[in-house]
């Protein structure tokens, strides 16, 4: 049973680790300043890949498990989270079409960062606690599937 307790937090822990890694990437972008324009593009592309992989595992695995659980708030919270992902995808597409020399590139990156931070905080505060209250077998299955899918998506990006 101790193994189950460790694995229960795995999905939420993995997603929290993703959130922290994405925050670190944004901080790295913020610290770049003006001169190294190619670095801004490269860092944006890394952020984009990470966000896309992270959103995919949430939408494919975490959200369905949470929204079909017993918590009556879950469906609405998942609907809101999916809407935030649509907004993030729109911002990523918009930024990708810009040159790092475009004056709105940095502005849009700031909006992307703020939106990501809001979304991550909301998930950690509202969705992850719902996940932790799901039955142990469900949590373990979700954690295993999420880890596997996240690894697949990470390898696909290489």
Residue 111's domain is classified under what CATH number?
A: 1.20.120
pLDDT, average across residues 87-107: 94
Residue predicted with more confidence, 36 or 39: 39
Residue with tokens 């990708």: 96
pLDDT at 2 over 80: no
pLDDT, average across residues 38-67: 91
CB neighbourhood size of 131 (10 A):
24
Q: What average pLDDT does the chain have?
A: 86
For the chain, how many structural domains are there in total? 1
Tell me which DSSP letter residue 126 carries: I
Domain that holds residue 150: 2-157
Q: How far apart are the first and last CA of the chain?
A: 36
């Amino acid at each position: 049973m101790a193994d189950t307790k460790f694995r229960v937090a795995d999905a939420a822990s993995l997603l929290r680790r993703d959130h922290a890694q994405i925050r670190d990437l944004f901080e790295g972008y913020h610290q770049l300043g003006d001169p190294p324009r190619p670095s801004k593009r490269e860092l944006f592309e890394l952020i984009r890949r990470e966000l896309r992989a992270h959103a995919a595992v949430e939408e494919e695995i975490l959200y369905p498990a949470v929204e079909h659980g017993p918590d009556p708030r879950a469906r609405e919270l998942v609907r809101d989270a999916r809407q935030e992902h649509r907004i993030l995808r729109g911002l990523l597409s918009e930024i990708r079409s810009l040159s790092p020399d475009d004056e709105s590139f940095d502005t849009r990156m700031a909006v992307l960062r703020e939106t990501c931070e809001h979304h991550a905080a909301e998930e950690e505060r509202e969705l992850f606690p719902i996940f932790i209250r799901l039955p142990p077998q469900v949590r373990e299955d979700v954690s295993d599937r999420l880890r596997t899918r996240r690894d697949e998506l990470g390898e696909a990006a290489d």
